[in-house]
Structure 1
Amino acid sequence: MESIKKRIEDLRKEIEYHNYRYYVLDDPQISDFEYDKMLKELEKLEKQHPEFYDENSPTQRVGGVPLKEFKQVRHNIPMLSLQDVFSFEELRDWDRRVKGEVEAEYVVELKIDGLSVCLAYENGVLKTAATRGDGIIGEDVTLNVRTIKSVPLKIGYPYALEVRGEVYMPKDAFEKLNIQREEMEQPTFANPRNAAAGSLRQLDSSITAERKLDIFIFNVQRIEGKSFEKHSEALEFLKSLGFKVSPERIVCKNIDEVIENIEKLSQIRGELPFEIDGIVVKVNELNYREILGQTAKTPRWAVAYKFPAEKKKTKVKDIIVQVGRTGAITPTALLEPVRIAGSTVSRATLHNEDYIRQKDIRIGDSVIIQKAGEIIPEVVEVVFEDRDGDEVIFKMPSKCPECGGDVVREEGEAALRCTNISCPAQLKRSIIHFASRDAMNIEGLGPQIINLLMENNLIHDAADLYYLKFEDIVNLERMGKKSAQNLIDAIERSKGNDIDKFIFGLGIRYIGSKAAKNLAKYFKKIDNLLKSSYEELIQVEEIGDKMAQSIISFFKEEHNKNLIEKFKNAGINFELLEKEDNKNKIFEGLTFVLTGSLSRYTRKEAESIIESLGGKVSSSVSKKTNYVLAGEDAGSKLKKAQELQIKIISENEFEDMIRGVV
């Protein structure tokens, strides 16, 4: 038994060493095959010998049990934000203010575009990881941070240590995630920062583990048993402990050297594997920081120089159209390739016909493009003086480019739509949507497998999935026995989903996951929903005229009726599942409205918490509203709540309510 324990400990040490080489130093010493072999051996031994379980084992970085909500963490040292400057003149003004107090040297660092966190270690073990929050109180995201492989779970320092870092999503991981979300017809992230923030704040840490996040540590917040004279020394100490510290750390004697290095770093910005949105300049001497002090929100000893948005000129070679799941036909500009903000851009979405007309974009035009949020290409303007008369005015098609069906533009809408419900492009995307996580969540059924099944004429609609047999798919390319059986099992499991998942999966226009839940609660059976009238539908919470008409039109369509019958015959659950619910329904009978940007929750997370505690979330403020949860930049809803004298609560008050304080 001792030999097994020793083998487990040796494997853990060796795997962590190779994690450090790969994720921190970017200098792997073994192949992926060798690494995977060691990890599998460790997983097998730990499974056979649970008595040797260790929460800090490298096998435990895959995510744990989903949380109901994030706990609050009060920071020992406030996590301040930085003052932004947008020109060298402003930077010199800041330098003059510093030099009026102390004769300091500076450290120049890259400003990683991510989400700030504080990691706290005790006795050499990671205890908590918290988001910045409002700078005083953050969210406990320890389980999620543990999935980031460049974060050391153990360090060779036995005293209390707190460090601050920036969690980010590398460019290649961001691009892959957005491609995946596009294929699933899910909203894409605007930039890597939003993607990182959304990924780190998942209540299910296994989702975070899939998102390939990384981190750079850029400051010692608090340390016992040791002191430093300079910030640069502290970073070197952290590096020696195995932290992935802030890259491109440059000590500068004066502001001229700072500006010189900012100009150099701005030139390599596009070549970096992660996004930066500026350069941070800090006073290096730690005792000078105490002299300079801070305002309520920002330190006086540091500043962030922000880069201006990069723009480039290129030419529109052609404009093509693509057909989405709902039949929407979206125009896309094919561009002469141009390098901008670190990648080569060869296409940009033009959204719809109105967008093209408003900007007067023509085939052959020279245009100025930039990356919205530093990542998504968009056409800013046309260079009209470059026109020579050969430019071609683009016309949206009168027939669907995929199936030749009629296209229409409905009143009040900007998009053209294909009216053929059997359009191959719509069919493929509707099946992708049906299998997606928020719908039927059929694990392993991604766009490539759906393509494979359609190309082999095994499925023609989503219902056909439930008639697949093991022998139909086992010999397909990229399948094999295990993959085939896993897919069949996943499809079978999805039959038992609650009906809101099925309703959302049908892809009825205007019906999102929340509306699907409301319909499921009200009608309780799919058959009841099928027979529902307009008058009944508008009685359902948040189902308005347009949504009701869309539901009626969907179920009137003969093809859709046949599809529903096909699902029913396949054994899909068609009734609301009765769930045993012992939760404290403290929000029973209360209606909330959310407005503004919440710092501790995504909108969806806040809604889930309210609903899990028995409350309802409405999209509009009325006399029936009990509370308005207001974040930053709250707009017209806040004003209406004030007019109606409805109770307005902050995030702190909301969390007090959750804990039963109010």
Structure 2
Amino acid sequence: MTDAAQRILQLRAELDQHNYRYHVLDEPSIPDAEYDRLFHELKALEAQNPQLVTPDSPTQRVGSLALSAFGEVKHEVPMLSLGNAFEDSDLEDFDRRVREGLDLPAGDLFGSVEYSCEPKLDGLAVSLLYENGLLVRGATRGDGSTGEDISVNVRTIRNVPLKLQGEGWPQVLEVRGEVFMSKAGFEALNARQLEQGGKVFANPRNAAAGSLRQLDSKITASRPLEFCCYGIGRVQGDLPETHIGILHALKGWGMPISRELKLAKGAQACLDYYRDIGQRRTSLAYEIDGVVFKVNSLAQQRELGFRAREPRWAIAHKFPALEELTELLAVEFQVGRTGAVTPVARLKPVKVAGVTVSNATLHNMDEVARLGLMVGDTVVIRRAGDVIPQVVQVVSERRPNWSPEEREQRSVKVPEHCPVCGSAVERTQLVKRSKGKESFVEGSIYRCVGRLACGAQLKQAIIHFVSRRAMDIEGLGEKSVEQLVDEGLVNSPADLYALTFEQIVGLEGFAELSTNNLLEAIEQSRKPTLARFIYALGIPDVGEETAKLLARALGSLARIRQALPEVLTYLPDVGLEVAHEIHSFFADEHNQGVIGQLLKHGIELQEEGDLHPEFAASTTLAGFITKLNIAFIAATGAERLAAKFGSVQGIIDADWLDVRQVERLSERAAKSLRDYFDDPANAQHALAIENQLREFGMHWQSERKQLEGLPLAGQTWVLTGSLEVMSRDVAKDKLEALGAKVAGSVSAKTSCVVAGPGAGSKLAKANDLGVKVLDEDAFLAVLAGYGVAL
């Protein structure tokens, strides 16, 4: 047997296995780009050795066999796959072959061919058969000739019409398209699967395929599947004579088609479309892996005809791969500003989506364990848009047969000591609090205990402190911060405000002008808003929105520093765990010292004031009792206790007989209440919370201030495009000051969209949903109408 014949047999066997995993099991083990490489290698070898081509070669068929659990469906018109273009030159060659096949002149305006252009959805190809306007059958593509009968399942997809709308449709109409899952639907499904302990899907394509091919259609019905039509198969009746004309006719009969469908004349217009949608790829609501171009004229399609497995009149222009295979060379550990010790994969460099990747995130050690990762493994790397590359899975069949000793050496272990400062590394303990009980479980994060004695934590803490959304000290980039820390000039954020000209000017990258500019930027940062200052402190789990919430509700740094966890939980979206993080941060002696030094160095907080009236009015005695989390005391029981005793002290002092007289309070609840307050520490803590509520003016007996409703309270606004008079961050602050919530995406619940130049998909969605849209001038007029200074 020749080397070519042996390699052909090897490639066929490997491709058949990958086809089976991809099309039948819905568990692909390699990225699409790797499959394409293997397929094209086989195709080239067969072209060089035509005598070795056999009917069962993967190059002569599409997909794989149908699952035996479903009935078989014979496709009267084969469901063929498409040829691929990976470079611009491939598309230009395709256009040249089309023009030559149609005997059109080259380089002439009249030689240009019209093509339909639409995104190539990453889902599962299906066929829907309609007879007299009624859906009678749904089938998968299968091997192109025979698919699986999934009629019951496709009926559960909400945007698949069970009956065609309007009139004029053919007596028999086979509609072909893609069943897919949106990015949002995929994320929601995986979150639900995690919550229920079910299988987590690797990507939206796997999720869609696995959902559509369930034997229990109830499972399919519970999944967020969508359908998009891209063509037809068997037809008995009249249809338009262009591809786009057919799709628009189908749309009129209730079929969903791509909103990105366009007509292009000639190869250059097709390339323009490809580049445009490629730039917008990450902002689309669904995953795409390329663009499909089809000769628009059906007469020209018939003239061009077919090859063995693909039409001559269509091609898929693929995007650079978002997934690739490479080797894991090592796992190193980085230390973040909170001390989290995070594993990072060092990879054999590989090009993913046009970018060379040599590092990838591993998130935490739980993720390492889930992947079963070992140094030397072949792994799948994914990169989407600007997201940090991540390791998706291990290709286990490519793992060498290592000995037990080698496996132990290659396993990934957390260092016992911090790689930066040498301090101990400890696994976090999570405190679960419920109904008066605390339990401890191991967290997924490991932390260096060195705190700001650890250079990595100190550097990262200061980089966060000076960032644009925090104290906004321009001129202090990462490199400058590293120099200041390494030179011993800055050992805490407060030291920034004691820096002198002589200390800075000698640093690398600083001359007289840049030094003065930095000192001026530090000076200008001395008057931050309370919200910015809170965010700049880097409190765990406190982002910008929570910092704004704390500042707006509590009104002063003093109250925020004093607030007990149970008081903080009166804030919307602040749970007990986050409340304890905030309280612990301000109770820490080191943090108290840093804040004290910052204030001593002249930090003057802006926008401090009174407690927000709405926050002050949020307490009741019954709600207070509920927040104590006493076992078996729910909201109704708390209301009855409040009505009976009228005060916290009265409930603490009530004896067993008094408590048993509370209407419809169970014996178990009464016993739990007495056991709780018989512990002097619990009684003292409850009174401390009540005293703080009284001190803050939040007590249910405190005098309530008149609530002044904000004009945009309850409204959700979205900002898109670029604004000229102010930045989007400033616009967001002004909207929030008027009570509006500023969201990042448009939905039916959006109140208004402000669209500046360059607005894209958000503006389009707002128009589709009929949401009110303002340009910048109209937006400024709204702000002026509410007396907001511009």
Task: With the length of structure 2 as denominator, give the TM-score of the two structures.
Answer: 0.41
Identify which of structures 1 and 2 has the higher relative contact order when contacts are C-alpha pairs closer than 8 Å and 6+ apart: 1
